[in-house]
Amino acid sequence: MKDSNEILLENEKAFKSLFEHATISILVTDENGDITLGNPNAEKLFGYTKEELTGKPIELLIPEPLKDIHRKHRHQYFKAPKARPMGLGKDLFARDKNGRTFPVEISLGYYKLGIKKMAVAFITDVSERKKAEAILRSSEETTRLIMNSALDAIVCIDTNGCITVWNPQAEKIFGYTESEIKGRRLSETIIPEKYRALHEAGLKRYITTQEQNVINKLIEITALHRNGREFPVELTIIPMRQKDNDFFCAFIRDITERREAELRQNEYAEDLKQKNIELEQFAYVASHDLQEPLRTVSGFVELLKRHYKDQADENVTKYINYITDASDRMRRLVQDLLDYSRLGRERILEPIDCNKVVQEVLSDLTMAIQESQAVIHLDQLPVISGFATEMKQLFQNLLSNSLKFRKPGEPPVITITAIPKEDHWQFKIADNGIGIDEKYWERIFIIFQRLHTKNEYDGTGIGLAHCKKITELHNGKIWVDSTPGEGSRFYFTVRKRSTDKWK
């Protein structure tokens, strides 16, 4: 049997050890609030040594603004001391030797030492926990902000198919408020009836076998609005796991407007295609059918000429010549119209060496060049991808124009250059010809528009219209810049393609 002294001694040893090794900070004060004891952990927490603490008022460890109120509470406490947590839900703060203020949690205990009432404070530094809580709160706030301002409807369901998350955009596109739909089955709300079984089966299959064909990709399906209207949506479903809970999140976008726009666009495109076909057909058929009566006129005029060659008087010859000229012109116009409508009909994109094309054209124009004593400056030209026949015709028309509209008595000087631009080639054909008044710079590209009478310069007025159509076939443009009396500069562009290279 141990005697009571022995037991006391053992107890004291045990308590002392508890006190010394407790991971919580322990401070003991007397009724006056003066510190009588502090454990090593308290020393560590507050940065004071035991000696520095002993005998000091406990307010040493309270931040300045809270000292007064603490004193008041302390007096209150000793009137009816009992063990309880301190602060009653309020945030408590302590202050260490360095002046750092930090949040704490404190439990109060109480014992009597003779007649002295002693208070024991168990103090935990909760800085880290508070910080973690703040981070969590801010991250929750961020999540809420994202959810609320997302342009997509965000809808989550649990593995039973019940809705757990429903953001404001979901309210907007489906017409259900968050409170009325949360907890309801997805398949009974926003999925059209005909797809419900499919959805349920898919969900079940995924949960049991992980087999799926809709997860993590963009899919387009039909959704059901609260008012019964079905509408197209685009969505991505992402499976998620939080604390061992599986759930699925869908990001959903109402694509009604886009669908309608697509539909309209397709209609326009189809319409345009049809119109173009009709127009081509029209020009083709019209010019074809116009040739027929023309041949008759020409035929009979020829007959008249032959039969009455000797008897015809001056007037008859003149009339017959008028008819011949007019029907010849008509035939050329009709032929031009026919060519124009056929232009680029069967086109195959191929690499075209513009140097070669221009050489060919120049060789075709040898006669005109020699007659006019023209000087041609030819720059290095690129290899482009285009339509061979059309490109040749383009150069042919522009070059023969430069030769044709030369200043009388002055040999033509023609310069052909090309410069690479970001996504196209820009060609320039400059001459020293008669030039074009600015007011005609656009009209000259319209079919059959001419600036000169037939007596001045021959032609039907198709050449530049052809050029315009050809550049447009090459996704380019054509324009002119000119000084009347000094010369013209015709520019045209051809879109670059991956096969192009500077040669």
Binding region for other proteins (CB under 8 A): 322, 325-326, 439-440, 449-455, 461
Q: At what angle do helices 314-342 and 463-473 cross, to 10 degrees?
A: 10
Least distance to other proteins, CB of residue 454, Å: 7
Output 75 or 452, the one with its CB closest to other proteins.
452
Q: How far is CA 105 from the centre of its chain?
A: 52
CB of 322 to other proteins, least distance (A): 4
**Within a 10 A sphere around the Cβ of 401, how many other Cβ atoms?**
22
Q: How far apart are CA 313 and CA 307, in angstroms?
A: 13
Minimum CB distance to other proteins, residue 272 (Å): 24
The conformation of residue 19, written as its DSSP 8-state character, comes to: H
Q: Which residues contact 408 (CB under 8 A, 6 or more apart)?
A: none
221 vs 330 by CB, closer to other proteins: 330
CB nearer to other proteins: give 143 or 317. Answer: 317
Pick the closer one to other proteins by CB: 300 or 322: 322
| Least spacing, CB of residue 469 vs other proteins, in Å | 21
Closest separation between CB of residue 445 and other proteins, Å? 14
The encoded tokens of residue 302 equal 């020829």
Using the 8-state DSSP alphabet, how is residue 224 labeled?
E
Distance CA 105, CA 121 (A): 10
**Residue closer to other proteins (CB basis): 90 or 439:** 439
CB of 436 to other proteins, least distance (A): 10
Straight-line distance from the first to the last Cα atom of the chain, in angstroms, rounded to the nearest whole number: 114
Cα 157 to Cα 170: distance, rounded to the nearest angstrom:
13
Please give the C-alpha separations between residue 440 and each of 445, 479, 480, 484, in angstroms, as whole numbers: 9, 11, 10, 11
Q: State the residue for tokens 């060496």.
A: 353
Nearby residues of 380 by Cβ (< 8 Å), 6 or more positions away: 355, 418, 503
> Given the complex with other proteins, which of 262 and 458 has the nearer CB atom?
458
Cα within 13 Å of Cα(77), Cβ side: 27
> Which residue lies nearer to other proteins by CB, 232 or 461?
461
Residues 6+ apart with CB under 8 A from 258: none
Q: What single-letter DSSP state applies at residue 61?
A: G
> Min. distance of Cβ 486 from other proteins in angstroms?
18
Decide whether 219 or 446 has the Cβ nearer to other proteins: 446
**Residue 383 CB, nearest approach to other proteins (Å):** 38
Helix (H) or strand (E) holding 25, with range, is strand 25-29
Q: How many whole angstroms separate alpha carbon 435 and alpha carbon 78?
A: 111
Return the number of the residue (322 or 502) whose C-beta is nearest other proteins.
322
Shortest reach from residue 437's CB to other proteins, in Å: 8
Cα-Cα-Cα-Cα torsion 138, 139, 145, 146, nearest 10 degrees, comes to 160
Least Å distance, CB 309 to other proteins, is 21
- Taking the least distance from each CB to other proteins, the nearer of 330 and 473 is 330
